[in-house]
Chains A and B, each alone.
Chain A
Amino acid sequence: GNSVTQMEGPVTLSEEAFLTINCTYTATGYPSLFWYVQYPGEGLQLLLKATKADDKGSNKGFEATYRKETTSFHLEKGSVQVSDSAVYFCALSDRYTGFQKLVFGTGTRLLVSP
């Protein structure tokens, strides 16, 4: 079945540091890939997406590139802010199992200090 593996956290960074959160996936078809973010006390929000190989999703300074050859979708940001502190989830959905069935990774907590 489909699965998503994320690096364990927490990831602790100082403000303006470079961020990478690793995500790899296993899927039988050609999945769409997502990063969701969960701020403290809130539900998940879609951060960015990529629907086919080599697509780059970007939003709010975050980027991730769909790499089919390495089955990866790593999240990056050049300069993090304290307000980026949150839990980040990598996820996929597959047209063949239905877009309804998002498969999530376990989440990576990011802590950014001033």
Chain B
Amino acid sequence: NAGVTQTPKFQVLKTGQSMTLQCAQDMNHEYMSWYRQDPGMGLRLIHYSVGAGITDQGEVPNGYNVSRSTTEDFPLRLLSAAPSQTSVYFCASRPREDSYEQYFGPGTRLTVT
């Protein structure tokens, strides 16, 4: 199993550009999440999904869109990038609602200039 994979590892965008961060997992996990990690602020939940076709907002959803058409994939879209979205983004998955452990991907470092 590859676990949770994320692409790209690094990305530089100009303000106003759009892009999609990819996340995939091969563990057949129902639950997937996106977090952003900023210095001095820990990780904050952006969006999450409890299964294919079902998504919900987390703590900091503004400026981001998600969809979940398959169990495996959970892409995060930045519609119009802003410098405040410069961050490291982590995707995570877990098998069930009552499963305590989340499995994290290696992260995508995004810089918006």
Contacts and interface: CB of A to CB of B under 8 A. Distances in A.
Nearest to A32: B100
A30 B4 CA distance: 29
B74 interface: no
B40 A106 contact: yes
A33 to B, nearest CB: 10
B100 A34 contact: yes
B13 interface: no
Nearest to A51: B100
Contacts of A107: 42
Nearest to A34: B100
Contacts, number: 55
A4 B107 CA distance: 22
A50 B44 CA distance: 21
A89 B31 CA distance: 21
Contact of A89 (B4, B43, B45): B43
Interface in A93-114: 93, 98-102, 104-107
B105 A100 contact: no
Nearest to B59: A101
B98 A100 contact: no
Interface in A4-58: 4, 32, 34, 41-46, 49, 51
A93 B41 CA distance: 17
Contacts of A98: 97
Contacts of A4: 42
B99 interface: yes
Contact of A44 (B31, B44, B45, B90): B90
B75 interface: no
Interface of B: 4, 31, 33, 40-45, 48, 50, 58-59, 90, 92, 94, 97-102, 104-107
7 nearest A-B residue pairs (beta carbon): A43-B104, A104-B42, A44-B104, A104-B43, A106-B42, A46-B101, A43-B106
Interface of A: 4, 32, 34, 41-46, 49, 51, 89, 93, 98-102, 104-107
